[in-house]
Amino acid sequence: MTLEGILIVCLIGGIAGWLAGLVMKGRGFGILGNIVVGIVGAFVGSWVLSRLGVVIAKDFVGSIINAFIGAVIVLFLIGLIKKA
């Protein structure tokens, strides 16, 4: 992966993680944690949506939406684990 690709993934992950942290009140992890959650969320989101047969536009905004959905799922699961 090129440096440009890594920066784009971090940008998308950061935006998605930040948005997910806002939606899931009190479950954010700061900017670096949100980037990690957003990147992991991108993989989770693409896996879950492909299993459901849902296709979101394959542009920048579609990537953010996909990563956001996955990041919300990841934050929800982390919240369940922390409560246990």
Burial of 46 (C-beta count, 10 Å sphere; 0-12/13-18/19+): middle
How large is the average pLDDT for residues 15-20?
88
Q: The pTM is what?
A: 0.84
pLDDT digits (tens, 9 = 90+) for 30-80: 778 888 888 898 888 888 988 999 888 778 888 888 889 999 999 889 888
Residue 57 is given by DSSP the state -
Q: What is the mean pLDDT of residues 6-22?
A: 86
Extents of the domains making up the chain = 13-83
- Residue 84 banded pLDDT, cuts 50, 70, 90: low
